[in-house]
Every structure is written in structure tokens, then in C-alpha cells.
């Protein structure tokens, strides 16, 4: 026992001399007159507290908190719904499944109906567009034949020079008939548009075409196939030879772009009306 008490006395003496951390107790100012520096643990605590956070760090922390809260609420909601379905009776589950199937079927039927309606509208629109296109093309063709619209295309230019005034109305009419027989689609003589009911008469100082006086040189501007039109005028005994006998000259020039721009007014018929029959 005396040995144990002696050992305790020695330990207490060491504590008094060196302090609780085993360091020598050097008084308030230390044995050498200097204050002891802070320990590593003290420096760590001083660095961590109080916390120093920037505004950006606080914002990120707040966003993370809100995100975590939202996820927690979503998980709880999912669990509640799952628990509701797990707690439902078999009859209720069958009813819910049947309602879902019926709604899906109704949506599929509505989708097919809308697709069919779209196809019908598209087909109807295409048919209407095609009908409108054909109508406009037909209108252009009829306008060219009636002389109410201008036309252009390949063809020839026939220039008849008559210095002696020997070319009469019948010679010009024969020339027109020959051109029509060769496939002429649009014809203009000087500034007069030629149509189906065009007529020629002789007049003083020239020829009257549909009542308009036309003088030489007589220029036929013709749209059609040049390879058919020119040979038709130059056949033996044809238009060119006949005009030469009348001491006139005929000059034919082919072209890939002939413009017939003389127009006739659109006359409204007095008695004829369109009929659906």
C-alpha cells in the first residue's frame, strides 16, 4: 500500500510540474518569459468556427435544400399512391384497369378518326388544287384562241412586201388558211390579232382586217412548229410562189421565241349562255 501511495504522489507531482498535457508548467508567462502558442487542435477549431460562407455558397446550399425537399415530397407522394393501390380491393383494381383500357381505346379511336379526316381534307384539297390548275390552263388556252391574252412560243415571222400594191385580201386569206392548216396556234398580222371569225376585205390603199386598215409590208407573226410552218409556205404552187407571181416578195424567218401580243376585246354574247347539259 505504501508503494502505491508513493507512486500516486509522484504522478501528482509530475502533473503539477508539467501540466495536464504533459507540458512543463512554466507559469503564466512560461518558464522562458513567452506565452505558449496554440495547439493544432485549437487552430483547427479556430478555422472551422465561426463558419465563413460566401453568397454563392449560401445560394447553392439553399438550392440543394429545396431540391432535397422536393425529392422527399415526391417519394412520399409515390409511396402514398402505391400504398393506396396496394391497399385497394381486387374489384377496385380491375375497375381501374378497365377504365384505363377504355380511355386508351377511346383515344386510339379518336386518333384514327382525326387521321382519316386529315387524309380526306388533304385529298379534297389536292383535288381542288388540281381542278383549279386545269381550269386556269383551259382558260389560258381559250384566251389564246379568242385572242384575249398574249402568247409566246416558237414559230415564224412571214414578211410580205408589196411595192406595187398587187396583193389583195384573198391572197392574205389564202396565206392565213395555209398557216392554220400547218398547225399555227396564234397569229397576228401587223397589229391585228387573228381569231376564228377574222375576215378580210379590200380597201383603198391596203386591206381591211376585221375592219382595221393594214398596209404593206404585211407581217405575219405566227406561233407554231417552225419545221411545219415554213415548208407549208414553200411548197410548189404554194403561198410564196403565188406572191412572187403578183410581184411581191415573201421572207420567212424561224425563231424559238415568237410573241403575239395584239389583243382583242372580250365580247359578251347576246344570246348564248353556258349550259350544264
3-state secondary structure 86-117: HHCCHHHHHHHHHHHHHHHHHHHHHHHHHHHH
Q: Is residue 60 part of a domain?
A: no
84 against 67, higher pLDDT: 67
Q: Is residue 161 part of a domain?
A: yes
Q: Is residue 119 part of a domain?
A: no
Whether pLDDT at 2 is above 50 = no
55 against 29, higher pLDDT: 55
Helix (H) or strand (E) holding 189: strand 186-189
Count: domains in the chain: 1
At 256, which CATH number?
Answer: 3.30.70.1880
Tens-digit pLDDT profile for residues 73-129: 765 655 555 555 666 677 777 777 888 888 888 888 888 888 888 888 888 878 888
205, 207, 196: which is closest to 171 by C-alpha?
Answer: 207
What is d(CA 148, CA 145) in angstroms, rounded to the nearest whole number?
A: 8
pTM value surpassing 0.85: no
Please tell me whether residue 211 adopts helix, strand or coil conformation: coil
Q: Which residue has the cell 404585211?
A: 218
* Buried-exposed string 224-243: b where 16+ CB fall within 10 A, e elsewhere: bebeebbebbeeeebbbebb
Instruction: Give the range of the structural domain holding residue 199, as residue numbers without chain letter.
Output: 152-260
Amino acid at each position: 500500500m505504501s508503494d502505491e501511495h508513493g507512486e500516486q504522489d509522484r504522478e501528482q507531482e509530475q502533473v503539477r510540474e508539467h501540466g495536464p498535457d504533459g507540458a512543463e508548467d512554466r507559469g503564466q508567462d512560461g518558464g522562458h518569459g513567452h506565452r505558449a502558442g496554440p495547439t493544432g487542435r485549437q487552430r483547427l477549431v479556430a478555422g472551422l468556427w465561426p463558419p465563413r460562407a460566401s453568397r454563392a455558397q449560401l445560394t447553392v446550399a439553399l438550392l440543394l435544400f429545396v431540391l432535397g425537399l422536393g425529392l422527399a415530397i415526391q417519394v412520399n407522394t409515390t409511396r402514398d399512391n402505391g400504398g393506396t393501390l396496394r391497399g385497394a380491393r381486387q374489384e377496385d383494381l380491375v375497375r381501374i384497369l378497365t377504365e384505363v383500357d377504355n380511355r386508351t381505346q377511346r383515344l386510339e379511336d379518336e386518333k384514327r378518326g382525326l387521321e382519316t379526316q386529315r387524309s380526306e381534307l388533304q385529298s379534297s384539297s389536292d383535288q381542288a388544287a388540281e381542278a383549279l390548275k386545269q381550269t386556269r390552263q383551259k382558260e389560258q388556252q381559250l384566251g389564246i384562241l379568242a385572242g384575249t391574252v398574249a402568247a409566246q412560243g416558237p414559230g415564224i415571222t412571214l414578211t410580205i412586201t408589196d411595192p406595187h400594191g398587187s396583193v389583195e385580201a384573198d391572197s392574205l386569206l389564202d396565206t392565213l388558211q395555209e398557216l392554220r392548216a400547218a398547225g399555227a396556234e396564234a397569229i397576228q398580222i401587223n397589229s391585228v390579232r387573228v381569231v376564228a371569225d377574222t375576215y378580210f376585205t379590200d380597201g383603198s390603199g391596203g386591206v381591211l382586217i376585221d375592219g382595221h386598215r393594214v398596209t404593206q409590208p404585211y407581217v405575219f407573226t405566227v406561233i407554231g412548229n417552225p419545221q411545219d410552218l415554213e415548208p407549208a409556205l414553200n411548197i410548189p404552187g404554194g403561198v410564196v410562189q403565188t406572191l412572187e407571181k403578183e410581184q411581191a416578195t415573201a421572207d420567212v424567218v424561224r425563231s424559238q421565241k415568237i410573241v403575239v401580243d395584239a389583243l382583242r376585246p372580250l365580247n359578251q354574247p347576246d344570246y348564248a349562255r353556258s349550259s350544264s347539259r
